[in-house]
Amino acid sequence: MRRPARTPRTVLTVLGAALLLGACAGADPGLDPGRTAPPAPVSAPLPAASPTPAGTLLVADFGAGSVTFVDPARGPIASVPVGRAPYGLAVGADGRAWVATAEGVAVVDTRARTRTALIPYRTDTGPVRDGEYRGGGMGIALSPDGAHAYVGVNVPGGPGVMEVVDTAAGAVTAAVPVGRRPFDVDVSGDGGAVYVTNHDSFDVTVVDTGSLRPRRIEVAPYGTEGGLGAWLKPHYTAVRPTDGMLLLPFEGERLAVVDPRTGRVTVEPMTADTHQHGAAVTPDGRLLVVGTGAVDPSEGRGPSLTVRSPDGTERVHPLRGPHEDVAVSRDGRTAYVTGGFTRDGHWNGITVVDLDTGESRRLPAGNRPLGIAVLRTGAVVDGTVSPKSDFGKP
């Protein structure tokens, strides 16, 4: 394992201010940390009556209370208000997007580019606010049949909940206790389980969709020393399509491979040497992981996108500035990495990465974009909806 000296105890020496600053770090040297760049201009807006083209990107504007539709070649083409501080989003085969905001789950008709509903949470999350620690929805995913949306709801100061939304009725039907700050939500390929990745409690909550009984699996390859002030926590999870294993990257050094049935966790080495956030899987089984920059710049490397093959070999593509989440084109050849970032130093755009050549370019996109999906205007893959991206996370 690279840099074996890095342990939670070592990291705590770097964390004089970490408990105040939060549990994630990274900054674009070309930006003043904490300063939000002006919103990206909307170029060549689509006429209101025209349908949204397939392949359009949809991003959640954490800094603007909207979602932005982005032409992957030209940039933003339309924006729709959805509610304060939208975080994650999921798009169904029917073209509806489900967006986790601080106020509730917004429903967006992506063909007509209009918000059709805002479903309030059952859980009291306190005052509606902005910022990394705001209450309300974070990760969100759809069941394979599109009948339910599962949203991780952050409750400041305490454990979170997973709320179940009946997508036909447009209402919350259940709330299940999970861990603290549920960054990500994923669904098993058969729809029988939901996986909630809880950043501040070092764990994944596995929820059986039939009984709605939760089961906790600790995922802490560096240990849990430091508690809320620690940096080495889980962020996002990808579900491996071949066997249903959960893949959780840490620090560009360790990949936790979790068996959700038994709770067994094994650790494999990684090579990017950077603090890692968003994760996705391509149709051919490659794991994509977003690196935001090293916790300690004197020890680690800068932002990057790791492309990990099923055999464990990796290509690491450098990125300019911090990023948060990633989606992949339907053909699996292009990655779209959002520049919003949950910490300071974000920028208002997307980095487009050619996965064959490693070449990249920057594209303007909304205001502090976090969650992202590639729209298919109703296309279906293997008879299921797309939970999070163009081809989905099985």
Distance between CA atoms of residues 161 and 14, nearest Å: 31
CA distances from 302 to 61, 80, 101, 252, 313 (A): 24, 33, 30, 11, 20
Longest dimension (CA), the chain: 59
Domain coordinates of the chain in residue numbers? Answer: 64-374
Residue 22: predicted pLDDT: 41
Please state, rounded to an integer, the average pLDDT across all residues of the chain: 87
pLDDT in the model for residue 163: 99
pLDDT digits (tens, 9 = 90+) for 304-323: 999 999 999 999 999 999 99
Position 44 confidence tier, pLDDT thresholds 50, 70, 90: low
How many whole angstroms separate alpha carbon 313 and alpha carbon 292?
A: 21
The model's pTM: 0.88
Residue 229: per-residue pLDDT: 81
Extended beta strands in 182-286, E state: 182-187, 193-198, 203-208, 214-218, 238-239, 246-250, 254-258, 265-269, 275-281
Which pLDDT value is given to residue 230? 86
Q: Which of 253, 310, 256, 252 is nearest to 281 (CA)?
A: 310
**Banded model confidence at residue 43, pLDDT cuts 50, 70, 90:** low
**CATH number for region 64-374:** 2.130.10.10
DSSP state of 54: T
Structural tokens at position 348: 């208002």
Strands lying side by side in the sheet with 114-120: 89-91, 96-100, 104-109, 114-120
pLDDT tens digits for 320-333? 999 999 999 999 99
Measured distance CA(161)–CA(150) in Å, rounded: 10
CA-closest candidate to residue 142, choices 175, 189, 86: 189
